[in-house]
Amino acid sequence: MSRVALFACVNYEPEEVRRAVSEALAAIGGLASFVREGQTVLLKPNLLSSKAPELAVTTHPAIVEAVALEAVKLGAKVVIGDSPPYQGQNPRRYESLCQVTGMREVADRVGAEIVSLDHPQREVETGGKLFKKLPVSAAVLDADVVINLPKLKTHGLTGFTGAVKNMFGCVPGLKKSQLHLQAREGREVFSEMLVDVFAACKPTLNVMDAVVAMEGPGPSKGRPKQVGAILASADAVSLDSVARELIGFSLSSIAHIRLAAERGLGEAGLGHIEIVGSDLDTLRVHDFSPSPTIGSGFAGMPAPLYKIVKNQFVPMPRVIADKCVACGDCIKVCAIGAMELVPRHNENSRKIARADLKKCIACYCCDEACAYDAISVRKGWLGESLRRTRR
Ligand code: SF4
Ligand code: SF4
């Protein structure tokens, strides 16, 4: 039987978060049962992009600080790090991201070091199904204890991002895009790849920020949604399964949680998970909106048919002209070379990004990497019209 601590936490006031985190950790045996004096503890929040905490794109700094303080109290050396799709490559931009997301302030207050999970890196055996070897951040492999701090959000490709998916950030920078490319044949294959990564860098402990989650078009452009909970568990799969139940998502709709459980990496069936703390039913959110890209039914479609319908019916990246500043990040992150900078209509001196939809594999890495919200992931005019009619 796996154990998941579920505690109400109504806001990000430091006192409220510290109480909830401390109660959640105590309910799974206390942090002292995972961390010893002198150990290096790596905290792995979700730092997807350079967004302020209230936008619910990243793990809230109050959660990171509360967990860091507990580890510092035990005499551990705390390190905070992630590998955002593009910003992690460039030290100046990574520092700026850490400032915007509140990580720099937390690190300075608790005496933690900030590291980028981009380099150095090492190849590791995964024991996995799709990838036998994967590049993983050396900081993750060398830490004595890894505490995974996911944010509860929807995701355009997997439907849900939580503890298992957050470990994808341990694969350095643009290597993530290459894995997207290699695992491009639909959601099931992509999910197998995520589980390979998870198997290669399984965290010691997981504490989820589900105080304000993200609903709708996550993981970067959805809406903040009050859920009011903090979850903790040594079993990331169980934690994700309780979180998806909390927001009304079925297990069958989230392939990577199901596949991780099938590989014996954790427990997904609620009948085999002991939930301690608050009552699941009292915290349940009944109107949590899924990602609009989920449920399109294209994942298992034969390739020739998929090519015919994809531009109209598969949600694809479209660049928003008045937001694009031609920074080129989406081009660097696109492993298949489907993004390019082209002259603007009637304006040869100014450029704009454009996705070649014939090449595009709908991985949405460009959307995640764009710091200017200049990419909208949506269907073609026919698909959008039908969607509106059905509503
Ligand atoms: S779409 Fe976004 S990431 Fe791409 S060039 Fe424009 S602003 Fe930069
Ligand atoms: S254009 Fe965007 S969604 Fe398409 S393959 Fe490139 S990164 Fe992925």
Regions of the chain where pLDDT drops below 70: 294-311, 383-391
Same-domain check for residues 177 and 259: yes
Question: Could you tell me if residue 122 is inside a domain?
Answer: yes
pLDDT the model gives residue 309:
67
Same-domain check for residues 279 and 310: no
Tell me: the pLDDT tens digits for 255-285? 999 999 999 999 999 999 999 999 999 999 9
Ligand 2 site, residue 335, Cβ cutoff 6 A: no
Ligand 1 site, residue 324, Cβ cutoff 6 A: yes
Within 10 A of 337 (CB to CB), how many other CB atoms are there?
10
Q: Which atom of ligand 1 is nearest to the CA of 369?
A: 3
Q: Which atom of ligand 2 is nearest to the CA of 181?
A: 5
pTM above 0.85, yes or no: yes
CATH number at residue 313: 3.30.70.20
**Residue whose CA is at the smallest distance from ligand 2 atom 8:** 363
CA of 101 to the centre of ligand 1 (A): 20
CA of 124 to the centre of ligand 1 (A): 33
pLDDT the model gives residue 240:
98
Same-domain check for residues 326 and 275: no
Q: Which residues of the chain form beta strands (DSSP E)?
A: 2-8, 40-45, 77-82, 113-116, 121-125, 133-137, 145-149, 151-155, 159-161, 205-215, 223-233, 273-277, 316-319, 339-344, 347-355, 375-378
Question: Could you tell me if residue 290 is inside a domain?
Answer: no
Same-domain check for residues 157 and 203: yes
Residues paired with 121 in a beta bridge: 137
Same-domain check for residues 256 and 336: no
Question: Could you tell me if residue 297 is inside a domain?
Answer: no
Same-domain check for residues 228 and 328: no
**Residue whose CA is at the smallest distance from ligand 1 atom 7:** 324
pLDDT the model gives residue 254:
95
Question: Could you tell me if residue 295 is inside a domain?
Answer: no
259 lies in which domain range? 2-283
pLDDT the model gives residue 224:
98
What b/e sequence results for 184-211 when a residue is b if at least 16 CB atoms lie within 10 Å of its CB, and e otherwise?
A: eebbeebbbbbbbbbbbbbbebbbbbbb
Same-domain check for residues 183 and 41: yes
Same-domain check for residues 148 and 275: yes
Within 10 A of 13 (CB to CB), how many other CB atoms are there?
11
CA of 374 to the centre of ligand 1 (A): 6
Ligand 2 site, residue 174, Cβ cutoff 6 A: no
pLDDT the model gives residue 301:
56
Same-domain check for residues 324 and 255: no
Same-domain check for residues 37 and 81: yes
- Listed in sequence order, the residues at least 6 apart from 347 whose beta carbon sits closer than 8 Å to its beta carbon are none
**Among 283, 311, 334, which residue terminates a domain?**
283
Question: Could you tell me if residue 293 is inside a domain?
Answer: no
Same-domain check for residues 54 and 163: yes
Q: Is 290 left (phi over 0), alpha (psi -120 to 50) or beta?
A: beta
Within 10 A of 156 (CB to CB), how many other CB atoms are there?
24
Question: Could you tell me if residue 17 is inside a domain?
Answer: yes
Domain count, the chain: 2
Same-domain check for residues 270 and 310: no
**Residue whose CA is at the smallest distance from ligand 2 atom 4:** 360
Q: Which atom of ligand 1 is nearest to the CA of 329?
A: 3
Q: Which atom of ligand 2 is nearest to the CA of 180?
A: 8
Choice from 89, 342, 372, 376 to test ligand 1 binding pocket (greatest atom count within 8 A of CB): 372
Ligand 2 site, residue 334, Cβ cutoff 6 A: yes
Residues paired with 232 in a beta bridge: 5, 207
Question: Could you tell me if residue 325 is inside a domain?
Answer: yes
Tell me: the pLDDT tens digits for 102-131? 999 999 999 999 999 998 999 999 888 889
pLDDT the model gives residue 124:
94
CATH number at residue 49: 3.40.50.11440
**Among 230, 252, 283, which residue terminates a domain?**
283
Question: Could you tell me if residue 291 is inside a domain?
Answer: no
**Among 228, 252, 283, which residue terminates a domain?**
283
